Structure 1
Amino acid sequence: MSKELITKSVEELAPLIAKRDVSSLELTKAVLDHAESLNETVNAYISFTRKQAEETAQQADNEIASGNYRGMYHGIPMAIKDNLYFKNEVTTMASKIHQDFVPDFDATIISKLREAGVVFTGKLNMHEYAWGITTNNPYFGACRNPWDLEKIPGGSSGGSGAAIAADMCVATLGTDTAGSIRIPSSACGIVGLKPTHGRVSKYGCFPLSWSLDHIGPMTKTVKDAAGLLEIIAGYDKNDPTSVKAPVGNYTEKLNGDVKNLVIGVNEEYFFKNVDYEVEKLVRAGIQSLVDQGAKVEEVSIPSLKYAEYAEMITILTEAATIHHPNLLKRPEDFGADIRLLFELGEIPSAVDYLQAQQLRRQIKLDFQKAFEKVDVLIAPTLPIIAPNIGDDYADLNGAKVDLIDHIIRFTGPGNLTGLPALTVPCGLKNGMPVGLQIMGAAMNEETVLNVGYALEKTNPLQGKKPELVSSLQK
């Protein structure tokens, strides 16, 4: 029974827990047993909190037995990326400098998850300070992609992506500054949502780039992501970027109806220099929505040609500013890859930064115009397949291309604009997952999630899971 339990999504488990057909404690123990047995292989977790998890799970069972069921995530085991603050618990940012850092408060979203009755099983591996896309961590070791242990899981939320794909936790959160939710979600074949900037509080999340950072769900299904967004969304006075906007009933609005939906396709940027098989699978995903009644319209977003420059100048300079004191005092305590990025971030001038913000404003305006004509924009999440651990290059139709430049090409615009963006699996290339990205207008997560739900119903992965997991569950 425990092997079957750990494979289930939150939407499958929640009714079982609510009816007390399954106990939270039973589920939590099964997930932890599985995660601990696999962690030496996958390295998704930095640390486990079994004792606290079992106590919280038992408390959830007691509450449910007394008629106090809190909702979809009550009693659900979740591990969390290790840059989100837990009061009185070590939060490392997967770094040497913060290896002993203990916050004196919970991140706002952690408080909200506690209120929802979530069971926390541990802290997940990540790229150091969230500044990278491989999760090849110099202090906690490389996290591995469950679909192919030689390959990266993506990053910076690589432990989050790998943990969900390998059933090492039931749901989780990622942080996203240039694609760090969507990159590992695509690479690991799961669902990842970057909400609208300001929709979810960042208070208590160690920053990478103040104006680009987002927090959002990483889950097994679209409905799981919708349910998690309902919990973590909402205005927070402690976050100056938080927006006062109503939180939707995202799960109730999921019906998969895409009749008369207008899908925007931007050929000149989002379908340029893409792996042939990735492009084929994404276009097949679009066609599956057309077969359900959607329409396609080509859109032009001229300023997208400046997006990579604006994204890199913004993230480099803001990240370097955040870490400037430690870069001066103890540069040797940063991993070599991110130390170089922080040093590069000291080079651009104020003129460069402010020019990038003007370009960013124009990109936002051009996207706004596009969404006057279409309901969503669909593109590949990544133009490439995840490369091997340690590689600085990726294969793009037989050519070697710079990994970091290409892997954030299609995700970065979502951070620049702050628009909601969802990645869902749309197929496999040589046994590795391919993601399809759905972008929407500001605060329109409802539509983005519903389009993802419509695609999910076509079962693009045909029920396939990583062999590593499948073999353990036979």
Structure 2
Amino acid sequence: MELFQLTAHQLQQMLLKKDISALDITEVVFKRIEQVEDKVKSYLTLTRDQAEAKARQVDKKIAAGEPIGPLAGIPIAIKDNLCTEGVRTTCASKILQDFIPPYSATSVQRVQAADMVLVGKTNLDEFAMGSSTENSGFHLTHNPWDIGRVPGGSSGGSAAAVAAGEAIVSLGSDTGGSIRQPAAFCGVVGMKPTYGAVSRYGLVAYASSLDQIGPFTRDVTDMAQVLNVICGHDPMDSTSANIKQPDYTQYLINDIKGMKIGVPREYMADGIDHPVKEKINAAIEKLTELGAFVEETSLPHTDYAMPAYYLIATAEASSNLARYDGVRYGYRVKDAHDLVDMFMRSRSQGFGDEVKRRIMLGTYSLSAGYYDAYYLKALKVRTLIKQDFDQAFTKYDALLSPTSPSTAFKIGAMVNDPIQMYLQDVCTIPVNLAGIPALSLPCGLANDLPVGLQLMGKAFAEGTLLRIAYTLEQNSDYTRLRPVIGG
């Protein structure tokens, strides 16, 4: 494999042996970007000067014999809804096209403190609203496995960058599947940690009770190492959990004998494509062969997750996006007749169609006369869904399902059918409603496209998911597969 295809821990070992320098790694990644970015289009902003300066700093530390972090010198891409001080942060929206934050998100500060090298900001569905990255206000991102297909969304740029070798690891955000689904489509590992495990400070809010930051990596070892960097309490985020953080690399154990895994029948229903089911069933057989006890179970309120999610998420989006009014920052029309005209035209021109659709849905569900019938009822359904998971985890160490009902679909195939697009997240949405962790792991190819397997665990049981994923990974070769980019 070439350097840009290696994992972070492989590169780190080479760095410590002084076989390569941090600047070498950074230059290789930027050379790869020059080769394939015109086809993949993962990025909205590149930070080459900043990256090279950071890499030189790391090399100086190594030369001086100073201690470095476990991921020092590793190039990382950041989803463009995470604030980066002095670097444009757009949320892939015209309304924020020139916004340069005066501070960095806590997760960004932590990767920089760990001496990771920021390569650039990645493309996404505008304000993280979408499942294909086709809703970006700037350009499409293409799937490295087939550039005629979507990379998934909303963190499509972050997933595609890692899959294409344009970054070694990346950060995304997950509100209803926005890390796990693109990880599945692009054949990389993606995790949505427990709500509160990673600080949301500096993440531009979509739906505050659902949003969570998480990593994309090439393998499970890298995932554990990145979680070690970004997880932990943050007083700047009132929802950040103040609990002792484990060393996630301690869970990289190739042994799942005696572990109990449930497969909810609702997640393997008729809507799941047959080739995807085949790969999931093959993984179940492998887990059984490795000593786990796997059986079918039920999460009876699963069918209500989708409508509940699209009421709660859009209601919170309606509130969160009210701040973009053209007054303090962001896009503002130049020839407004009065204040009301400025508000209306700035927002209607600044936001894309999908964002406006969700704002209207949310505003309607919160309006007088409809609040109890819609939003309040959705909150009650959310409680029932969480109770389903709580009940399941009294019996099982983890739950297993497909990450997405299909492999990556063709660009344009669903862009005019929002309901079909929303259904892409049918397997991932319940996890966000319950606030629990979930991981997507590559489990093979169907028609030459990656298939993702989703592992779900109880709150703060990321370690259990890492152990199962690591065992499956060590007994297969799916995370070692790399796309060949053509076209």
Q: How does 1:377-396 map to 2 (within 5 A)?
A: 377-392=399-414
Gaps of 5+ in 1: 395-399
Write the deviation string for residues 129-160 of structure 1: whole angstroms up to 9, x where unpaired. Answer: 11111112453210000001010000110001
Write the deviation string for residues 420-467 of structure 1: whole angstroms up to 9, x where unpaired. Answer: 100001111111100000000110000001111111123253843212
Name the aligned partner's letter for residue 93 of structure 2.
Answer: S
Most deviating of 328-337 and 207-216: 328-337
Q: Work out whether 1:274 is the aligned partner of 2:291.
A: no
- Structure 2 counterpart of 1:93: 91
Q: Distance in 1 between matches of 2:37 and 2:359?
A: 30
Q: Is the 8 A contact 2:80 2:124 kept in 1?
A: yes
Most deviating of 211-220 and 324-333: 324-333
Q: Is the 8 A contact 1:426 1:436 kept in 2?
A: yes
Q: Work out whether 1:104 is the aligned partner of 2:102.
A: yes
Q: Is the 8 A contact 2:131 2:422 kept in 1?
A: no
Q: How does 1:7-406 map to 2 (within 5 A)?
A: 7-326=5-324, 329=344, 330-348=347-365, 349-351=370-372, 352-392=374-414, 402-406=419-423
Q: Distance in 2 between matches of 1:393 and 1:85?
A: 28
Query: Could you state the TM-score of these two structures normalised by the residue count of structure 1?
Result: 0.94
Deviation at 1:313, TM superposition (A): 0.7
Name the aligned partner's letter for residue 371 of structure 2.
Answer: A
Name the aligned partner's letter for residue 407 of structure 2.
Answer: I
Q: Is the 8 A contact 1:137 1:143 kept in 2?
A: no
- Structure 1 counterpart of 2:336: none
Write the deviation string for residues 347-405 of structure 1: whole angstroms up to 9, x where unpaired. Answer: 113211121111111211121110000000000000112211122179xxxxx994323
- SS of corresponding position for 1:89: coil
Q: Is the 8 A contact 1:73 1:117 kept in 2?
A: yes
Match of 1:413 among 430, 439, 442: 430
Most deviating of 204-213 and 262-271: 262-271
Gaps of 5+ in 2: 326-342
Q: Is the 8 A contact 1:393 1:402 kept in 2?
A: no
Most deviating of 453-462 and 157-166: 453-462
- SS of corresponding position for 1:113: helix
- Structure 2 counterpart of 1:397: none
Write the deviation string for residues 39-91 of structure 1: whole angstroms up to 9, x where unpaired. Answer: 11110011111111111000001011212232221011111111111112211
Q: Is the 8 A contact 1:82 1:125 kept in 2?
A: yes
Q: Distance in 1 between matches of 2:248 and 2:478?
A: 24
Q: How does 1:406-445 map to 2 (within 5 A)?
A: 406-445=423-462
Q: CA RMSD in A?
A: 1.8
Name the aligned partner's letter for residue 307 of structure 1.
Answer: A
- SS of corresponding position for 2:400: strand
Deviation at 1:25, TM superposition (A): 0.2
Deviation at 1:304, TM superposition (A): 1.7
- SS of corresponding position for 1:110: helix
Name the aligned partner's letter for residue 453 of structure 1.
Answer: Y
Name the aligned partner's letter for residue 426 of structure 2.
Answer: R
Cα gap change, 1:95 to 1:363, in 2 (>3 Å): same
- SS of corresponding position for 2:364: coil
Most deviating of 174-183 and 448-457: 448-457
- SS of corresponding position for 2:5: coil
Deviation at 1:240, TM superposition (A): 1.3
Q: Distance in 2 between matches of 1:135 and 1:152?
A: 7
Deviation at 1:342, TM superposition (A): 1.8
Q: Is the 8 A contact 1:270 1:410 kept in 2?
A: no
Q: Is the 8 A contact 2:5 2:482 kept in 1?
A: no
- SS of corresponding position for 1:216: strand
Deviation at 1:276, TM superposition (A): 0.7
Q: Is the 8 A contact 1:269 1:305 kept in 2?
A: no
Q: Distance in 1 between matches of 2:352 and 2:109?
A: 31
